[in-house]
Amino acid sequence: MGKALETFNLFPSLAEIKKPIKKHTIDTVELTDDPKAIELWDVCLQLIKDNIGDQMFKTWFAPTKALRWQEDVLVISVPSQFFCEWIEEHYFTLLRKVVSQVLGSKARLQYQVVVDKGKSSLEDRAITLPALRNPPAPTSGQAALPFINTPQAVQHYPTYLNPRYIFDNFIRGDSNQLAVSAALAVSDSPGKTKFNPLCIYGGTGLGKTHLIQAIGNHIVQNNRNLRVFYTNSERFTIEYVNAIQNNKVNEFTNFYRSIDVLIVDDIQFFSGKEKTQDNFFHTFNALYQSGKQIILSSDKPPKELRGVDERLLSRFQWGLTVDIQPPDYETRLAIIQRKSADEGFEVSAPVAEYLARNIGSSVRELEGALISVLAKVSLDNREMSLQLAQEVVKGYSQTIPQQSLTIDDIKKAVASYFKFTLEALEGKTRKHEIVLARQVAMYLTKQMTQLSLKSIGANFGGRDHTTVLHSCEMIENYLKTDKTVQTAIEHLSKRFGY
């Protein structure tokens, strides 16, 4: 079975990224069955199956096939490049764990994109991508510290920027225009605009990470002498704790102070981590005073972040704080067209319009729905039809789009989860279980809607805003210790697509 093979490096230079994939050389190779590879991958698949839903497994993992097992590298085939990017983006942590458990800690996975001639009219091509790349972006307690044990680390360190996140493939619309303009200004003159720090906030899946990394990638490409570093508040915290444990706080501090452009994603997770905040405060000051650029992202406006020190919050607002809103219909349509074109597909107008009209809350979901459609067309030989789009959207519509989520939706869901009536939830009863359910409802309303504490109180039987604040704080405390509350919040958040 002859296949076309195209080698493609996931971390090429940024200039190379912009070249269309088709410019790479195409050779022909034989794909042979390797029983050992098949056996090992089967064990991995079992573990993966146990950890993700059936539907997800069927869509993303069932079509994979083990090709080779050689020198600690397991090569698996996937049906498209988008496919492996999706797998990497969504199942990176799980795959790392599974691969290291089944194949050993040194093992790596490599994807080979194999388009079967018999199944698709697409150009026949195969692309090898290094997966579970080394060093991985640390996500767990064993975070790799770029500044420890490597004397040359100051010169050679991973930026943790994903080269896929660039301005060129970030679709602009009214919902993100201001954020993009600010991001471009900062990219062109890091540290030299009024936008320092630049803080971009907005709901999940709206492109914050993409945009702040695009700034980093742009700067790396255009100012090779500037040291750019991307991290998130969780990783910063883990590294800091590790540094304390290993007596490396000085190295930690020196590393961060040597950065010219520091990008910190998801600063909301600094909440409640006082010591880390204190260290970040000093890092921030040192960088700011020497004219270095700081870029932050958050899921809400900094002034609304609870559990973060006032002096840090005020600094976050020194520069420019700008939001990204959910994309409007035209932008959603443009995103679908661009993403499918990048994948070498043409999505018919009715399908594109149907997806754009029905999936509105996040670009991530929109992308997910589009990929499901493309996967079904290329893997199951399905026709690109409105019916297919409807089927796919059905899987998404169990979640209520965040924009249209009302306090009544939340109250009803909480009442039904805890098996109380709405009246009980809104009423005066001080029974512990009902008080808890009421606090959960207030907390979720605060998290998921734009309502002020005052109006939430008013919607819960005319309670004072301090009662709402107290409820939110209580739930935040319970979330650290109480399994019942953790489960309830997790279940209800999922129900609302959070």
Give me the helices (H) in 104-232, please.
Answer: 177-188, 208-222
Per DSSP, the chain holds a count of helices (H) and strands (E) of: 20, 11
Q: Quick one: which of 262, 356, 363, 434 contacts ligand ADP (CB under 6 A)? A: 363
Chain positions 209 to 228 lying near ligand ADP, rule: CB under 6 A, are 209-210
- Considering the rule CB under 6 A, would residue 207 count as an interface residue with ligand ADP? yes
Window contacting ligand ADP (CB under 6 A); options: 167-175, 220-228, 269-277, 421-429: 167-175
The CA angle 187-366-206, to the nearest 5 degrees, is 35
- Considering the rule CB under 6 A, would residue 162 count as an interface residue with ligand ADP? no
- For residue 323, the minimal CB distance to Mg ion (Å) is 14
Q: Which is nearer to Mg ion, 6 or 234 (CB)?
A: 234
Q: Quick one: which of 9, 120, 177, 204 contacts ligand ADP (CB under 6 A)? A: 204
Q: What is the DSSP string of 111-146?
A: EEE---TTT--SPP--EEEE-S-SSPPP-STTPPPT
Q: Which does 363 bind (CB under 5 to 8 A by kind): Mg ion, ligand ADP, none?
A: ligand ADP
Q: How many CB atoms lie within 10 A of CB 247?
A: 8
428-441 core/surface letters (b: 16 or more CB in 10 A; e: else):
eeeeeebebbbbbb
**Rounded to an integer, what is the distance from CA 392 to the centroid of its chain?**
21
- Considering the rule CB under 6 A, would residue 177 count as an interface residue with ligand ADP? no
Taking the CA of residue 220 as centre, how many other CA atoms within 13 Å lie in the half-sphere pointing to its CB? 24
- Considering the rule CB under 6 A, would residue 364 count as an interface residue with ligand ADP? yes
Q: Which is nearer to ligand ADP, 166 or 453 (CB)?
A: 166
Q: Which does 292 bind (CB under 5 to 8 A by kind): Mg ion, ligand ADP, none?
A: none
Structure tokens at 345: 């597909």
- For residue 212, the minimal CB distance to ligand ADP (Å) is 8
In whole angstroms, give the CA distance from residue 19 to residue 4. Answer: 19
Q: Quick one: which of 171, 295, 296, 444 contacts ligand ADP (CB under 6 A)? A: 171
**Binding residues with ligand ADP: total (CB under 6 A):** 15
DSSP-assigned beta bridge partners for residue 296: 199, 264
Q: Which is nearer to ligand ADP, 111 or 478 (CB)?
A: 111
Q: Which is nearer to Mg ion, 79 or 202 (CB)?
A: 202
The CA angle 45-49-55, to the nearest 5 degrees, is 120
- CB-based closest residue to Mg ion: 209
- CB-based closest residue to ligand ADP: 207
Structure tokens at 10: 């996931």
The residues binding Mg ion (CB under 5 A) are 208-209
Q: Quick one: which of 59, 81, 110, 176 contacts ligand ADP (CB under 6 A)? A: 176
Q: Which is nearer to Mg ion, 304 or 426 (CB)?
A: 304
Q: Quick one: which of 163, 205, 319, 457 contacts ligand ADP (CB under 6 A)? A: 205
Chain positions 26 to 55 lying near ligand ADP, rule: CB under 6 A, are none
Q: Which is nearer to ligand ADP, 199 or 453 (CB)?
A: 199
Q: Quick one: which of 3, 68, 208, 446 contacts ligand ADP (CB under 6 A)? A: 208
Q: What does each C-alpha distance from 381 to 76, 82, 476 come to in angstroms?
A: 22, 17, 48
What are the respective helix, strand and coil percentages of the chain, to the nearest 5? 55, 10, 35
In Å, the largest CA–CA distance within the chain is 74
Q: Which residues bind ligand ADP (CB under 6 A)?
A: 169-171, 176, 204-210, 335, 363-364, 367
